[in-house]
A and B are shown apart, each in its own frame.
Chain A
Amino acid sequence: MLTIKNLHAEIEGKKILNGINLQINAGEVHAIMGPNGGGKSTLAHVLAGREGYEVTEGSVTYMGKDLLGLSVDERAREGIFQAFQYPIEIPGVSTANFLKHTINAVRKHQQKKELSAKEMIAFIKKMAKMVEMEDDFLSRSLNQGFSGGEKKRNEILQMAVLEPKLAVLDETDSGLDIDALKIVANGVNQLRRKDNAFIVITHYQRLLDYIIPDFVHVLYNGQIVKSGDKNLALKLEEKGYDWIKEEALAII
């Protein structure tokens, strides 16, 4: 589904990603861990196509297409979803209205059946229930006055209604209490299918108790310095990141 080859990227002339290689197939969940400042969010933004993140080398192929040649919104309509580390507030635009517009945009592009107003409401409500969001959230301005946990659940709700092929979750677990964490994880698990894939960026192993990853990668200094299965996450939890850093330095 996604092939990242030797990806280099910089922000304002500062090199952040230094040759990332990653292969993701449909049906897989990849966890990306690593110390703060390692480049995890940058990778998420580069995949989503955010302006200001300049790719200087390498390639990204998504569903057989050159992903880097597409604009942000084209990528989104092609099924790439980014759950934000810091979701944005949009005053005056109700969550329901926002969802309606985005659902229509994505479905139309993917030539899926258009939803009638009634179907739309039913669909949104069903998904809201899955992330345990009360209906009155839907009529409130998008993310405005939402608590941290509510914002993150709203991200999962958006993911659920947009039915992406590849979802990149950027620290969706940080700042969540255990109940909220379970809701988020449960949402992701319910959406796991044979034909979609997830990149779960996280700082903490505990999320991976609930979302069991197929692969775990450590991103450090803009490179994937170690990959393994879910046991790697446990080891990181136990031993911290220092041994990885040392290993990485030894290689250089």
Chain B
Amino acid sequence: MSKEASTTTLEDYTKCDYKYGFTSNIDTELIPKGLNEDIIRLISSKKDEPQWLLDWRLKAFRHWEKMTEPKWPNVKYPPINYQDIIYYAAPKKKNILNSLDEADPELLKTFEKLGISIGEQKRLTGVAVDIVIDSVSVITTFKEALSKLGIIFCSFGDAVKEHPELVKKYMGMVVPSTDNFYAALNSAVFTDGSFCFIPKGVRCPMELSTYFRINAEGSGQFERTLIVAEAGSYVSYLEGCTAPMRDENQLHAAVVELIALDDAQIKYSTIQNWYPGDKDGKGGIYNFVTKRGLCAGVRSKISWTQVETGSAITWKYPSCILKGDYSTGEFYSVAVTNNLQQADTGTKMWHIGKNTSSTIISKGISAGRSNNSYRGLVKVGKNAENAKNFSQCDSLLMGDKCGANTFPYLEIDNETAQIEHEATTSKVGEDQLYYCMQRGLKQEDAINLIVNGYCKDVFKELPMEFAVEAQKLLAVSLEGSVG
């Protein structure tokens, strides 16, 4: 095969657009740009919030003002003007819907384009969905069916109104409002998100899912998710996200907190597909997210599974605090960067209780001129007898203009810890590609097969439906990445 011929076809192939890049014409309520105490009061009043929450926000804001952006991530971007962002954008139609017929038709069209059919289809597949557009939860399905089991699954705003005692008790327990720059920002201005509470001994019978969508121009998205699993309960939670294609960079700074009590298990899966920017690196979402789980109880377990394909910049370290004895933390990640995307992602496993264990499987894939870093910390406290950790961090390079880095940190204060770390860096081998193609596969199919094989250990942790979606997404993300 001549080189020129293959490059031309690949170039055509790269021109495939971001599938979710449309904008919807939803009537949106915006507040003025900028960030100050008045704006925060305005957001709080728009949301009809109790005084304690406003105070909480203001405390976070005052702390944030004294903070500076973290500089340690291995990413580069021009300074963000935090006064140039709209902190509240909401679909105008009031979000108390009794049935779908009441929803804004534009909104329904949006859902259709996103491939979310909130109606029968989801009912059949049994996934309850909460949809957050521009920071405001617009619709939550299956609320009633779930409430019969005592499960609360609603927007964060509704939770503040209907279950203030739960929100007050758990919000900020895992990610304090002063935790880091972006978490503090989120705590000051968050507009909505999802809340989920699984009572003692209940196994949530369906996947719970939140779909995040940024729509409005010039706005940022700041949502919070809080999941509490009481003793002996189980929940599997899915998160998906997309955004329109815009030339500007939009900020997404979310906070996710998970709390698992005795013997509880939370499985949290993310398919992150924010707009990554164009081939020249113009536009795209800055995804600066704080995700942390607290294994508070004995034998509790939290698993993070993430497939990161979108965003211009990803800064994200879903972590586990293993406080309960015999608790388990898991992190399974596939992070793909192409073109000029940058990702600095990984996890933190903090062993506090005795006999705790953690597993980290990270698969980075870099293509184009992108940069992909894994950053992980395994910390074993003084009293964490018999902590076990296994980490495997693999990087796959496609082409020779991209970069991959691994920053594994260890802080071990207990001699009984057993830590195992493996790391590899490989290239999609010319010989692997040739082998597949000699068997009749087209180049793009060969790449997909090889890359999917590489990601298998992570994909198998995803719920079935999501695994299929993840594979497709991976194929789209890597189109035109080898030439």
Cβ-defined contact, A101 with B449, below 8 A: yes
A158 pairs with B439, CB closer than 8 A: yes
Q: Please determine whether B441 and A101 come into contact, CB atoms closer than 8 angstroms.
A: yes
Q: Which of B1, B3, B435, B438 contacts A90 (CB 8 A)?
A: B435
B-chain residues with CB within 8 Å of residue A160 when the two chains form the complex? none
- How distant is the Cα of A25 from the Cα of B342 in the complex, in angstroms? 55
Q: Which parts of A106-127 form the interface with B (CB within 8 Å)?
A: 106, 109
In the bound assembly, the distance between CA atoms of A73 and B440 in angstroms comes to 5
* A32-54 residues at the B interface, CB under 8 angstroms: 48-51
CB-contact partner of B440 in A49, A50, A93, A106, under 8 A? A106
Binds B, one of A81-89, A208-216, A237-245: A81-89
Task: Write out the residue numbers on chain B whose beta carbons fall within 8 Å of the beta carbon of A91.
Answer: 453-454
Report how far A109 CA is from B429 CA in the complex, Å: 26
Interface status of A162 (Cβ within 8 A of chain B): yes
B445 at the interface (CB under 8 A from A): yes
Could you mark each residue 457-470 of chain B with 1 if its beta carbon is under 8 Å from any beta carbon of chain A, else 0?
A: 10000000000000
CB proximity of B6 to chain A, nearest CB, Å: 7
Option from A73, A87, A93 in Cβ contact (under 8 Å) with B450: A93
CB of A72 within 8 A of CB of B453, answer no
B95 lies within 8 A of chain A by Cβ: no
Alpha-carbon separation in the docked complex, A77 to B445 (Å): 14
Any A CB within 8 A of the CB of B455: yes
Q: Do B435 and A88 touch (CB < 8 A)?
A: yes
Complex: how many Å from CA A82 to CA B437?
Answer: 11
Q: Provided the pairs A51-B1, A90-B432 are in contact, do residues A141 and B438 lie with their beta carbons within 8 angstroms?
A: no
Interface residue? A105 (CB, 8 A): yes
Complex: A162 Cα to B437 Cα, angstroms: 13
A71 at interface, CB cutoff 8 A: yes
The answer to whether B435 touches A105 (Cβ under 8 A) is no
A13 interfacial by beta-carbon distance below 8 Å: no
Q: B430's contact among A51, A73, A92, by CB below 8 Å, is which?
A: A51
Known: A88-B432, A92-B454. A76 touches B438 (CB 8 A): yes
Contacting residues, chain A, for B431 (C-beta < 8 A): 88
Complex CA distance for A168 and B431, rounded to whole angstroms = 17
Determine how close the nearest CB of chain B comes to the CB of A201; give it in whole angstroms: 15
B429:A88 contact, CB within 8 angstroms: yes
Q: Which of B430, B435, B449 has the most CB of A within 10 A?
A: B435
Find out whether the CB atom of A49 lies under 8 angstroms from the CB atom of B1: yes
Cross-chain contact A162 with B453 (CB below 8 angstroms): no
Question: A101-B445, A105-B442, A158-B439 are known contacts. Are A93 and B434 too (CB-CB below 8 A)?
Answer: no
Among all A-B residue pairs, the 10 with the closest Cβ atoms:
A92-B453, A93-B453, A92-B456, A102-B439, A76-B440, A88-B435, A71-B1, A105-B440, A73-B437, A106-B440
Residues of A participating in the B interface, judged by any CB pair closer than 8 Å = 48-51, 71-73, 76-77, 81-82, 84, 87-88, 90-93, 97-98, 101-102, 105-106, 109, 141, 158, 162
